[in-house]
């Protein structure tokens, strides 16, 4: 999903950040996040104690950006407090800002330490709120630099860079990206003293937000790049999980049983949900879900039908083909579509949450979702139509309901594990009984088609 451009703020305030963060070093001690580093086994996530880990999360891509300004750093604290109150346990944010205003990477290999310390701050604050973060390493889009900025840097230095997709093929641009990966993964947090590659606050690394390579629809270019970069990330950090950042489009080689679920003709995106997630060193699959952006002429009931098919068919393939967990890494309902009513967002969220919950009940790979996007009070101007505010009871009630349901199933899974019978019929029956005792929303799957692709 393309992001809105950031607004320009006074740079004079940034000069205060170094001194303020130095003070934080003396007074702020990172809390111990529960469960250690999360890992993947089969189609499930587990914490360091062997307990199943379910993801109930959100996106707030702007943490580093706001933390870099002393006057707005409180927004980072506020949104993490909101997330914790809602019961969310994983967030997703950018570990990049390439060129432009308030850049992390000013030019290839040149970093603004003040902004890097802002990312340090975001990680420490997340840890204090017992929240893990997915850190994305570059953008497909021009927002916050991304792939286009790397291409521009190449041209400015006299390299032949015919288009932005040369990011995936040009040896210099690939080296610059690898250098950034190494710089982030090996950084030692100036507040906690913990190297990023050892920090349990980090849930996973993401290679790139919503990668596409339209100059090579075959997918070969993207597959080669993912293979190279995934191996490079794991050569530095074998502890943390790694995902690609895909939207979930299937490639042109797949049959009608999958491709009919496309929101539009995506044969030219150069990506493939199956092929790319099968590459070595990728730990779990991701899918993004934006019917309001993809299906602009469809009415809301039709979008809900599509959404359920979209979520379930990807869960099915995660289970049977990829044999790995799947996260719905971004999903949202816009309040700017014609005829919008708050109940439509409730129905949308329930559709995603019920698909995940049903997968968990069956022991499937659909083990989490992350809404787009959570904003705190004071960031109303950043609302792209999809923003969720904790103060909105209509949406918060749905989120809290999912929190309670996942808490119930997590407890059941832990009990089954402690009884050393998690795979037995009796344990599964106890889990199922607990799940079935949890009420579903009246606007949930009862109003949707019964087709089940799991």
Annotated catalytic residue 436: no
Would you state the structure tokens that stand for residue 23, as one six-digit string? 């003070």
Q: Which long-range contacts (CB under 8 A, 24 or more apart) does 12-16 make?
A: 13/69, 13/70, 13/71, 14/68, 14/69, 14/70, 14/102, 14/114, 16/70
CA distance 9 to 101: 9
Mean pLDDT of 320-330: 98
Model confidence at 439: pLDDT above 70:
no
pLDDT at 4: 41
Average pLDDT, the chain: 88
CA distance 236 to 197: 8
Of the candidates 288, 283, 356, 295, the one whose C-alpha atom is nearest the C-alpha of residue 322 is 283
Would you state the structure tokens that stand for residue 124, as one six-digit string? 């420490």
Contacts of residue 25, defined as CB under 8 A and 6 or more positions apart, other chains included, come to 190, 191
Note the pLDDT tens digit of each residue in 399-410.
999 999 999 999
Q: Choosing from 142, 206, 330, 347, which is the catalytic residue?
A: 330
Domains of the chain: 38-447 (3.20.20.80)
| Helix/strand/coil for 78 | helix
Q: How many residues does the chain have?
A: 454
Sign of the dihedral defined by the CA atoms of residues 403, 405, 408, 411, in that order: negative
Cα–Cα distances in angstroms (integers) from residue 350 to residues 398, 430, 440, in the given order: 7, 24, 9
Exposure b/e, 94-105, CB count within 10 A at least 16 = b: bbbbbbeebbbb
Q: Choosing from 210, 243, 347, 361, which is the catalytic residue?
A: 210
Annotated catalytic residue 330: yes
Please tell me which residue, 114 or 267, carries the higher pLDDT value. 114
The answer to whether 351 and 310 have CB atoms below 8 angstroms apart is: no
Note the pLDDT tens digit of each residue in 121-168.
999 999 999 999 999 999 999 999 999 999 999 999 999 999 999 999
CA distance 54 to 191: 28
């Amino acid at each position: 999903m393309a992001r809105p451009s950031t607004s320009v703020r006074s740079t004079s305030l940034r000069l205060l950040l170094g001194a303020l963060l130095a003070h934080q070093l003396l007074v702020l001690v990172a809390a111990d996040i529960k469960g250690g580093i999360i890992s993947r086994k089969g189609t499930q996530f587990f914490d360091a104690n062997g307990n199943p880990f379910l993801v109930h999360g959100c996106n707030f891509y702007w943490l580093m950006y706001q933390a870099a300004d002393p006057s707005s750093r409180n927004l980072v604290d506020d949104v993490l407090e909101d997330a914790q109150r809602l019961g969310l346990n994983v967030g997703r944010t950018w570990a990049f800002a390439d060129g432009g205003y308030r850049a992390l990477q000013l030019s290839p290999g040149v970093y603004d330490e003040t902004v890097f310390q802002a990312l340090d701050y975001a990680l420490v604050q997340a840890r204090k709120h017992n929240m893990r973060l997915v850190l994305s390493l570059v953008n497909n889009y021009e927002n916050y630099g991304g792939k286009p900025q790397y291409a521009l840097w190449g041209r400015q230095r006299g390299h032949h860079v015919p288009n932005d997709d040369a990011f995936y093929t040009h040896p210099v641009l690939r080296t610059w990206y690898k250098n950034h990966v190494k710089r982030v993964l090996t950084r030692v947090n100036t507040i906690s003293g913990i190297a990023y590659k050892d920090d349990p606050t980090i849930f996973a690394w993401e290679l790139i937000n919503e990668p596409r390579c339209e100059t090579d629809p075959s997918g070969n270019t993207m597959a080669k790049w993912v293979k190279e970069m995934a191996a490079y990330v794991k050569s530095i950090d074998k502890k943390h999980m790694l995902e690609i950042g895909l939207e979930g489009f299937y490639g042109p080689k797949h049959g009608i049983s999958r491709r009919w679920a496309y929101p539009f003709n995506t044969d030219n995106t150069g990506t493939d949900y199956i092929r790319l997630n099968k590459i070595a060193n990728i730990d779990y699959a991701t899918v993004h879900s934006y019917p309001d952006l993809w299906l602009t002429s469809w009415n809301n009931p039709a979008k809900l039908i599509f959404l359920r098919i979209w979520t379930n068919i990807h869960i099915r393939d995660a289970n049977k083909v990829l044999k790995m967990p799947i996260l719905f890494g971004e999903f949202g309902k816009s309040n700017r579509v014609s005829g919008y009513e708050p109940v439509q967002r409730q129905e949308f969220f329930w559709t995603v949450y019920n698909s995940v919950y049903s997968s968990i009940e069956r022991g499937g790979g659909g083990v989490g979702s992350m809404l787009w996007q959570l904003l705190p009070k004071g960031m109303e101007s950043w609302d792209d139509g999809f923003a969720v505010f904790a103060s909105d009871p209509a949406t918060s009630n749905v989120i809290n309901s999912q929190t309670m349901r996942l808490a119930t199933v997590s407890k059941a899974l832990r009990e089954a594990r402690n009884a050393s019978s998690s795979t037995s019929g009796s344990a599964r029956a106890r889990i199922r009984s607990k799940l079935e005792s949890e009420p579903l929303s009246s606007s949930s799957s009862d109003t949707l088609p019964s087709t089940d692709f799991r």
